[in-house]
Amino acid sequence: MYNKLDAIEASKEFLTEVRMLEEKYGVSFNSDSGDVYLTYKTNEDGKVWDNIKIGWEGDGSGLKVMEPEPIQMYEFKLRNTNGSVSKLQIPCDDDLQAMRISSELTNTKSVASVKFDKVK
C-alpha cells in the first residue's frame, strides 16, 4: 500500500521510464484541452508527422488508441467565373475539413462559388 510520499516517488520512476519509451519509439505524450495524444516525429528532420489520440475504454478500465472515423470522399462542385462547372472528389476526415477546403477553393480567382456533399 502506498502512502503519499511513496506514490510521488513511484510516479517519478514511472515518468522516467515513460521518457525512455518516448525516446525509443520517437514519440511524445501531448495534450490540449484535455485530450491526450501521442505525437510522432519524422526521422529525417524531427518535424511532427502525426498525432494519435488516446482515450478511455468505454467502461473506464484503461487507455486505448482512438481509431479515427474512416475517411469520407466528398464531391466539390465549382462554378467558375466563366460560367463553367467543374467537379472534384477529395477525401476528407469530416465536414469541417470539407468546409475549409471549400473556403480555400472559393478564395481562388477563377472560382465564383463552391458546393460540396459526401459521395454516397
Domain boundaries in the chain? 4-65, 72-118
The maximal CA–CA distance of the chain, rounded, in angstroms, is 76
CA distance 40 to 24: 12
Annotate the chain with DSSP letters as a single string.
---HHHHHHHHHHHHHHHHHHHHHHTEEEEEETTEEEEEEE-TTT--EEEEEEEEE-TTSSSEEE-PPPPPEEEEEEEEETTS-EEEEEEEESSHHHHHHHHHHHHTSTTEEEEEEEE--
Distance in angstroms (rounded) separating the CA atoms of residues 79 and 112? 6
Per-residue pLDDT averaged across 65-70, rounded? 77
Q: Is the pLDDT of residue 20 over 90?
A: yes
pLDDT, average across residues 18-41 = 84
Q: Is the pLDDT of residue 43 over 90?
A: no
Dihedrals phi, psi of 71, to nearest 5 degrees: -70, 135
CA dihedral 37, 41, 47, 51 (to 10 degrees): -30
Higher pLDDT, 37 or 42: 37
What is the pLDDT averaged over residues 2-22? 93
Give me the pLDDT at residue 120, please. 82
More confidently predicted of 88 and 67: 88
